[in-house]
Amino acid sequence: MEQSPTTMRRKFVFLALAAVCLCAIPVFAQESSPTPAPAPQPAVPGLFGFGRPATAADIAAINIDVRADGTGLPPGSGTAVQGAPIYAEKCSACHGANGEGTAAAPKLVDPAPFQTGVTAPTIGNYWPYPTTVWDYINRAMPFNAPGSLTADEVYALTAYLLAQNQVIGENDVMNSPSLPKVKMPNADGFYSPDPRPDVP
């Protein structure tokens, strides 16, 4: 059966378009898959091609831990009298006007001896080292602006909380030499190794 010139032309156009598409596929494939660039070579071994070594200033900004023996305490000082207005302004909203605790934050003041399941653990009846009170306030408080207190403010707040728990006097000066010498009421309430039979 003989085909009309129009039908033959359509077939020719169809075959030509198919050939163009088939020829174009490898070109597109090559263009969409370029050869990957070599991995960057680090300027200093161990940096993986990015970052830089920490400077002394970088390290000093985060090296703020204070140990039980007072290592790491900075210069500065404060008394409970100085700490009272700081506590009222920056701590009482969460911990209560007298450190009694609220739904937002725990109780801080209770000089009564700690009894498991009977009394809440506080700075006065549970905390073993006064220096770590300073460390915790310094790195974590106030809750909405941790790290914003000066060293003097932290010493004053620590003194205030210790005085409220009847550990020191209101006018006792807390600083790097005096704070580690404070004897906490429950300092002997911790044992090593742990004597409980159910604790490995």
pLDDT in tens, 70-126: 999 999 999 999 999 999 999 999 999 999 999 999 999 998 898 888 989 999 999
Which has the higher per-residue pLDDT, 9 or 177? 177
Whole-model pTM? 0.70
The owner of tokens 């200093």 is: 44
Residues 154 and 172: their CA atoms lie apart, in Å, by 15
pLDDT in tens, 31-73: 567 788 887 666 666 666 677 888 999 998 888 899 999 999 9
Instruction: List the domain boundaries for the chain.
Output: 79-187
How far, rounded to the nearest angstrom, does the alpha carbon of residue 13 sit from its chain's CA centroid? 70
Residue 19 predicted with pLDDT over 90: no
DSSP character string of 2-14: PPPHHHHHHHHHH
**pLDDT of 35:** 85
Counts of helices then strands in the chain (DSSP H, E): 6, 2
Architecture of domain 79-187: Orthogonal Bundle (1.10)
